[in-house]
A and B are shown apart, each in its own frame.
Chain A
Amino acid sequence: MKPFEYHEPKSTAEAVGLLSKLGPSVKILAGGTDLIIQMEQRTCMPRHVVNVMRIPELQGVSGRSGTITIGAATSLREVETSPLLRDKAPVLCEAVSTIGSIQIRNLATVGGNLCNAAPSADAAPPLLILEARVRTVGPQGERDLPLKEFFKGPRQTALQADELLAAIEIPEPPCGFRGIYYKQSPRYAMDIAIVGVAVGVLRSNGKCDEARISLGAVAPIPLRVAEAEAILNGNSPEERLVNTAAEISRDAAKPISDVRASADYRRAMVETLVRRGLNTLLSN
């Protein structure tokens, strides 16, 4: 690893000040499970490293007046085991539990998973169907934007160089909302998704009031598939509609072929997993 200067701010204000002052050769260190590897392999050689793990405002899961707030530097393991999230948004806990190992999830943070903006980030699809918003902090103050506007491309987010992701905010899902996450991966553990599918459904009186479908690892950014959702919204869940929604989702995917899977396989898996998710959630 190349030498660097280490900084340990105690507040987001101090962190933002450091980011502005230190300029382009600065990297934010959170859990380190990506950054330390990149620095060790010298694919990333910052002159300054700003560790945000000692900033109390960025830690923890809390709920207040219908909103669940997850500090950006909260570990994935804490998200996975949080009683509040297990109760209100278990689909997120389920998805996060597929990332790395317990050792990795004790280090890695939910903010890091989003800020890396890997198309395969497992936290993204469940947070998208939960309609999460993100709060950022910069020299001009705070910004609040929907998560789906946060992703700009592979490894690119809406964050400015001197901005920090502060929190993820989830509106408490309505009673009766259920979600499911499927991760298709070459290995059962310790590998990234080749397809990630999150499906959420809100039902009443036998009808599908609202469907939410999100895809990971099959496009430059994690997607919501509004056209597929619209087919189901307000309708009785018939097989024909479920199949159509799955086909639209498949066509919305723009995957690449790589060492893990071909684009064709990924597309086929999107259709299968969306159909499976909808059938599971709408069948009982």
Chain B
Amino acid sequence: MKTYPIELTVNGEKYSLEVEGRERLLEVVRSRLNITGPKEGCSTGDCGACTMVVNGKPVTSCLVLAVAVNGAEVTTVEGIGNAAKLDPVQKAFVEHGGIQCGICTPGFVVMTKAFLEENPHPTEEEIRFGLSGNLCRCTGYAKIVESVMAVAASDA
């Protein structure tokens, strides 16, 4: 099958690859670059577990063709912080119990980070609106919203 050369900068690192037209950004990042923070949940854009920031904007990467974002700057949860140096968003999720099984967490962290950059001091209602594209089946959201409120408050 025909392939297309593309370049991606993921978490600051540059990659050159050959992809088929049908390969989605999510599977390229996970399976070919072995960056497995983003998760495939629903494959239809509903759950937000695959959220990445692409050229400055959070998107559901399961609905993006890799070839269509040739040249893009991509950030996954791995580009936000790590075990040695947690980002304030990650720290807040840990401290406020905004995590349980963890499957949705990479998407929530990436989305929260992008959302707070646009709106650093949101109300609770704005947080719920901003995170409405991320599903969590464990926490019931209260603790996630608390986590985000804590980041916004600590930054004030």
Which of B60, B67, B129 meets A104, CB within 8 Å?
B60
Expressed in whole angstroms, the Cα–Cα distance for A111 and B1 within the complex equals 31
Residue of B nearest to A105 (CB): B133
Are B46 and A4 in contact, CB atoms less than 8 angstroms apart?
Answer: no
Are B111 and A103 in contact, CB atoms less than 8 angstroms apart?
Answer: yes
Chain B, 127-152, CB within 8 A of any chain A CB: 129-130, 132-134
Q: How far is the CB of A191 from chain B (nearest CB, A)?
A: 9
Are B68 and A190 in contact, CB atoms less than 8 angstroms apart?
Answer: no
Are B65 and A32 in contact, CB atoms less than 8 angstroms apart?
Answer: yes
Contact with A along B48-73 (1 / 0, CB 8 A): 10010000011110111101100000
Which A residues lie within 8 Å of B20 (CB)?
3
Q: How far is the CB of B22 from chain A (nearest CB, A)?
A: 4
Are A37 and B45 in contact, CB atoms less than 8 angstroms apart?
Answer: yes
Which A residues lie within 8 Å of B15 (CB)?
none
Are A2 and B22 in contact, CB atoms less than 8 angstroms apart?
Answer: yes
Q: How far is the CB of B17 from chain A (nearest CB, A)?
A: 14
Which A residues lie within 8 Å of B62 (CB)?
36
Which of B44, B51, B65 meets A29, CB within 8 Å?
B65
Are A102 and B65 in contact, CB atoms less than 8 angstroms apart?
Answer: no
Query: B21 contacts the other chain (Cβ, under 8 Å)?
Result: yes
Are B133 and A33 in contact, CB atoms less than 8 angstroms apart?
Answer: no
Are A77 and B1 in contact, CB atoms less than 8 angstroms apart?
Answer: no
Ordered by A's residue number, 28 sampled pairs between the chains whose C-beta atoms are within 8 Å are: A1-B24, A3-B22, A5-B2, A5-B21, A6-B68, A31-B63, A32-B63, A33-B45, A33-B63, A36-B24, A37-B63, A40-B24, A40-B43, A49-B65, A51-B65, A53-B68, A102-B111, A102-B130, A102-B133, A103-B51, A103-B58, A104-B63, A107-B59, A189-B129, A189-B132, A190-B46, A190-B132, A190-B133
Are A107 and B63 in contact, CB atoms less than 8 angstroms apart?
Answer: yes
Known A-B contacts A6-B4, A39-B22, A190-B133; the reply to A106 vs B57 at CB < 8 A is: yes
Q: Which 6 A-B pairs have the closest CB atoms?
A: A101-B133, A189-B132, A6-B21, A1-B22, A106-B57, A103-B60
Q: Number of A interface residues, CB 8 Å?
A: 29
Expressed in whole angstroms, the Cα–Cα distance for A6 and B24 within the complex equals 13
Which B residues lie within 8 Å of A33 (CB)?
45, 60, 63
Q: How far is the CB of B124 from chain A (nearest CB, A)?
A: 14
Which B residues lie within 8 Å of A3 (CB)?
1-2, 20-22
Query: A63 contacts the other chain (Cβ, under 8 Å)?
Result: no
Are A36 and B133 in contact, CB atoms less than 8 angstroms apart?
Answer: no
Expressed in whole angstroms, the Cα–Cα distance for A3 and B60 within the complex equals 21
Which A residues lie within 8 Å of B63 (CB)?
31-33, 36-37, 104, 107
Expressed in whole angstroms, the Cα–Cα distance for A18 and B115 within the complex equals 38
Which B residues lie within 8 Å of A2 (CB)?
22
Which B residues lie within 8 Å of A102 (CB)?
58, 111, 115, 130, 132-133
Chain A, 29-78, CB within 8 A of any chain B CB: 29, 31-33, 36-37, 39-40, 49, 51, 53, 77
Known A-B contacts A102-B133, A189-B133, A190-B132; the reply to A107 vs B115 at CB < 8 A is: no
Contact with A along B2-42 (1 / 0, CB 8 A): 10100000000000000011101000000000000000000
Expressed in whole angstroms, the Cα–Cα distance for A77 and B56 within the complex equals 13
